[in-house]
Amino acid sequence: MKLFNRSFLKVFFTAILITFIGPASAYTANVTIRWDANDPAPEGYRVYSREGSQSYTYDSPIWEDNLTTCSLTGLAEGVTYFYVVRAFDGEVESADSEEVSYTPPVVIPNQPPVADAGQDQTVYEAVQVTLDGSGSYDPDGNIVVYQWTQTGGAGVSISGAANSQASFTAPVVDLDGDVLIFRLAVTDDDGSTSVSTASVGVLKSPNTDVDADSIPDVQDLFPNDPSEWADSDADGTGDNEDPDDDNDGMPDSWEQAYGLDPVSDDAQDDEDGDGISNLDEYHAGSDPLVAPIIINQPPIALAGGDQVVNEGDLVLLDGSESTDTDGQISTVEWKQTEGTLVMLSDSDMLATTFTAPAVGAEGSILVFSLTVTDEDGSSAVSTCAVTVIKLVNDDDDGDDDDTTTAASNLLPVADAGADMTVKEGDGVVLNGNGSHDPDGEIVAYLWNRRKELSFRCPVQPIHSLLLRLQLLGRMASCLPSN
């Protein structure tokens, strides 16, 4: 190998080329060192490095090759690096070249811009609205791109969408209004982007009248129909088309004819105070403003069924089934009309009692009338018969130890049928089928000698008739009650 004197090995730097690599958040630098080639050419070159006040460590080169260009990577920003180059040929190594240094600058990462779409707004329909993004900024540079887009609500056309300030015309909305959403995206000179949104609430204008029916849309339930503007019953049909605006079951025409309010639910009101609602008056075809004349219905008297008792028995007369269909029974009066006189316990009560009197061998029939009067003064009468039977002492041997029995023959029981209320001129059937004989048979009926008798009611003011059926030779009579 040819040996060179150290004085012939000299290195001259020609350039230092610097490049940076790495992500923005952790920058590193690369450096390329270039020098002039020796002549004659050595075996190779070694690069040595130190930082700050450190010394070179010549037994540990950071690079060794026969090229005249060395690329170093991974340099930390802000640290000063010093470099020297030595040529070598075998064991012979030149002195240090001229020392060069390089400090990779501290690189500050780009800060993204801050987008500001401005304050939310509330406006009326059809007005001009400005979107203001001028509050956007870039903390370490400049914003180079603005872009406005709409992301919600009724669509509008944005003017100046690429500027910091844009504008549009608020759309016509319904009574509930609308909310429009706008997005502003800004991009800085390093390519970073940020976004911001703003909302614009659009209210119905108090003066807008789309259908020109002189009713402002804020009051018009049908803003696109000039023939309708109200819907009193909220059924979706305008009052002008709806035959029952208040949906109370009574047509508007009927309500208007009687002076009722067609847009107010007054179905359950009672204008004439007759106890009949307006709705019922409509269905009945009656005048809701005039109370009808009410004719009192007389009470119904029911004296109870006929009875057969023994002399000395306690007898109950029960008129508790008597009623008044349109009011109340106010007074009661029991009277005895036939037979052995007895004392009634409570002649002014619906139920009264008496003790059956002693009678002869043929017994006796006691007839009672019940008169009930309602609170309007109308009365009704019903009768009942009580047959009292003679008790016979069977003492054949005179020792007073035999039983007492009823007389051998019991009187028949006459039943003239239920009381009736009829109209003048009506045909009436009197039915005595309920008559019976407790110990035998009935052999004769004494109203025209048959069980049923028909007659036509006389034409005269209505009053009650007391109809009595008697058996075995006693005539039945038809007597007006007082």
- 46, 75, 102 — which closes off a domain? 102
Task: Say how many domains are in the chain.
Answer: 4
Helices (H), ranges, 248-404? 252-257, 278-284
Write down the pLDDT at residue 403: 47
Please say whether the beta carbons of 378 and 295 come within 8 A.
no
- Grouping H, G, I as helix, E, B as strand and the rest as coil, residue 65 is strand
Mean pLDDT of 15-20: 44
Please say whether the beta carbons of 286 and 276 come within 8 A.
yes
Dist. CA 472–CA 468, nearest whole Å: 13
Place of tokens 């690429």: 162
CB hemisphere CA count around 103 (13 angstroms): 6
Lowest mean pLDDT among 50-54, 213-217, 406-410: 406-410
Mean pLDDT of 43-57: 92
Write down the pLDDT at residue 395: 52
Residue 225 lies in a domain: no
Residue 84 lies in a domain: yes
Most confident of 152-166, 263-277, 392-406: 152-166
Both 343 and 463 in a single domain? yes
Question: Residues of the chain with pLDDT > 90: what percent?
Answer: 46
Residue 301 lies in a domain: no
Both 354 and 285 in a single domain? no
Question: Residues of the chain with pLDDT > 70: what percent?
Answer: 81
Q: Is the predicted pLDDT of residue 23 greater than 80, yes or no? A: no
Mean pLDDT of 301-330: 95
Q: Is the predicted pLDDT of residue 245 greater than 80, yes or no? A: no
Could you tell me the pLDDT band of residue 431, with boundaries at 50, 70 and 90? confident
* Residue 276 or residue 237, greater confidence: 276
Q: How many CB atoms lie within 10 A of CB 113?
A: 25
Measured CA to CA in angstroms, residue 42 lies from 39, 47, 60, 92, 379 at distances of 8, 14, 19, 10, 154
Count of residues making up the chain: 482
Write down the pLDDT at residue 461: 39
Residue 53 lies in a domain: yes
CATH number of 25's domain: 2.60.40.10
Q: Is the predicted pLDDT of residue 29 greater than 90, yes or no? A: no
Dist. CA 57–CA 49, nearest whole Å: 8
322-335 confidence digits (pLDDT tens): 999 999 999 999 99
Dist. CA 34–CA 70, nearest whole Å: 6
Mean pLDDT of 120-126: 93
Measured CA to CA in angstroms, residue 346 lies from 35, 303, 306 at distances of 149, 14, 19
Residue 129 lies in a domain: yes
380-430 confidence digits (pLDDT tens): 999 999 999 998 765 555 555 544 545 445 667 778 888 878 878 888 888
CB-based burial label for 228 (10 Å; 0-12, 13-18, 19+): buried
* Residue 337 or residue 255, greater confidence: 337
Write down the pLDDT at residue 318: 96
Domain of residue 243: give its range. Answer: 230-294
Residue 179 lies in a domain: yes
Q: Is the predicted pLDDT of residue 20 greater than 90, yes or no? A: no
Q: How many CB atoms lie within 10 A of CB 250?
A: 22
Q: How far is CA 280 from the centre of its chain?
A: 28
Q: Is the predicted pLDDT of residue 201 greater than 90, yes or no? A: yes
The secondary structure element, H or E, covering residue 387 is: strand 379-389
Both 269 and 320 in a single domain? no
Write down the pLDDT at residue 367: 97
